[in-house]
Amino acid sequence: MGRDAISLDKDKIKEGVKSAVVLVTGAAGSIGSEIVRQLISFKAKQVILLDQAESPLYDLQNEIIAANNNPSFEVVIASVTNKKKIRRVFEKYHPNIVFNAAAYKHVPLMEAFPGEALRVNIGGTKILADLSVEFGVEKFVFISTDKAVNPSNVMGASKRLSEMYIQSLAQNNGISTKFITTRFGNVLGSNGSVVPLFKKQIEAGGPVTVTHKEIERFFMTIPEACQLVLEAGFMGKGGEIFIFDMGDPIKIINLAEKMISLSGLVPNKDIEIKVTGLRPGEKLYEELMNGKEELQPTYNDKIMIGKFEEHNYLKINWAIIKLLNLVDELEDSELVAQLKAIVPEFVSKNSAHAVLDEVKERKDINGSRLYNTRKAILAMNGKRKKIASFLTI
């Protein structure tokens, strides 16, 4: 990756977790499972592994038992969107620390199913954050993504709104829970990501598919990202967005060439590299911060703190409640239009939802900040076929 690997202040974390019950949501996923592995290796008092995916959680359970002597953990199958069930988890275990890594993360799928992005990514985060306040959780660490910065897709915008909610809670006086956000770019080898895809494609004899010649991304390894999540979680005093130094972005086409060469083959001779076109919601370049944020250093030179504008809890809370109440009522495009009204920097790219941005521009000229969703729906009708085609990606 052309930079030093990241090292961790392990003593600080060991000290922090030895008397803590830690709830990890999305525990069976790429990020959640590595956070769990590290917490168990640091001998946390108890780790609660919560996920809705039964088989991956079962596999992780077996892995932990095989790899550790008397590990202290519990497994919970539950959806973070089920408030009653999650409340029972808080009543039973009384977590001191929550790491929220449960999410729907695949950009093209969330373009096609925006209601699910809202229900899980915003709704699940709100349920967990609100219960954390109610149950006096000490720290709540939200796992965000660079896709939340100037989002170009529903997934990124859903994470941005979650960040805004978490920050508004942190700025709300009288709440003892410290709310911390960690934001980073792509993780090498995570579920459904480019490295396992290229590996499979090379094994199958090609072609290796790249969506654009110029597309580039920031990369970290899973252990590096999760080390930084833990460290940021422990150094956080509440309200920060921690941004990780990911080094320089890497061109995906160069990654493809390197992986083909590392397999002992010659790119575009033994294995073809095929450019397939940008996917819905996909940007050429990701950013780690938006223009309004200025960075402050921390004692770890790989972790920086973004300084942010104020978020009004009452306004954001009300907007999210209204949005979530509409998830099963509105058409997808109406929902996306509502999301755009709450997250103004959300501008769809390479997506059928981009038509909603055209509507916004027209409304702005007339001096109104609201979307006319009916107009948007009419405009969307001609694009239905495109939305259906998302499903095949």
Tokens of 260: 């083909």
From the CB of 370, what's the least distance to ligand NAD, in Å? 29
Class of residue 46 by CB neighbours under 10 A (exposed 0-12, middle 13-18, buried 19+): middle
Cis peptide before 207 (omega within 30 of 0): yes
Stretch that binds ligand NAD, among 30-38, 227-235, 275-283, 341-349 (CB under 6 A): 30-38
Which of residues 148 and 330 has its CB atom nearest to ligand NAD in the complex?
Answer: 148
Q: Is 268 exposed, middle or buried (0-12, 13-18, 19+ CB in 10 A)?
A: middle
Which residue, among 76, 97, 287, 122, has the nearest Cα to 178 in the 3D structure? 97
Tokens of 96: 């001191």
Among 17, 48, 60, 81, binds ligand NAD (CB under 6 A): 81
The residue from 9, 10, 14, 53 that contacts ligand NAD (CB under 6 A) is: 53
CB of 381 to ligand NAD, least distance (A): 30
| Closer Cβ to ligand NAD, 36 or 377, answer by number | 36
Instruction: Count the site residues for ligand NAD by CB under 6 A.
Output: 29
Among 20, 51, 160, 165, binds ligand NAD (CB under 6 A): 51
Smallest distance, Å, CB 32 to ligand NAD?
6
Active-site positions read: 147
Question: Nearest 5°: CA angle at 11, between 9 and 15?
Answer: 125
- How far apart CA 181 and CA 172 sit, in angstroms, is 16
3-state secondary structure of 73: strand
190 is an interface residue for ligand NAD by CB under 6 A: yes
Write the DSSP symbol of residue 351.
Answer: S
Cβ-based nearer residue to ligand NAD, 152 or 190: 190
Question: d(Cα 105, Cα 289) in Å, to the nearest integer?
Answer: 19
In the bound complex, which residue of the shown chain has the CB atom lying closest to ligand NAD? 29
146 versus 257: smaller Cβ distance to ligand NAD:
146
> Pick from 17, 48, 52, 250: which binds ligand NAD (CB under 6 A)?
52
- What token pair was written down for 120? 């899980």
Q: What is d(CA 202, CA 192) in angstroms, rounded to the nearest whole number?
A: 16
Taking CA atoms, 272 is separated from 43, 206, 276, in Å, by 47, 6, 12
In the list 95, 108, 115, 124, the residue contacting ligand NAD (rule: CB under 6 A) is 124
- In the list 49, 187, 271, 330, the residue contacting ligand NAD (rule: CB under 6 A) is 187
Secondary structure of residue 152 in the 3-state scheme: coil
Residue 38 binds ligand NAD, judged by CB under 6 A: no
User: Which one of 31, 232, 252, 337 is in contact with ligand NAD (CB under 6 A)?
Assistant: 31
Binding site residues, ligand NAD, CB under 6 A: 25-26, 28-32, 51-53, 56, 79-81, 101-105, 120, 124, 143, 145, 184, 186-187, 190-191, 193
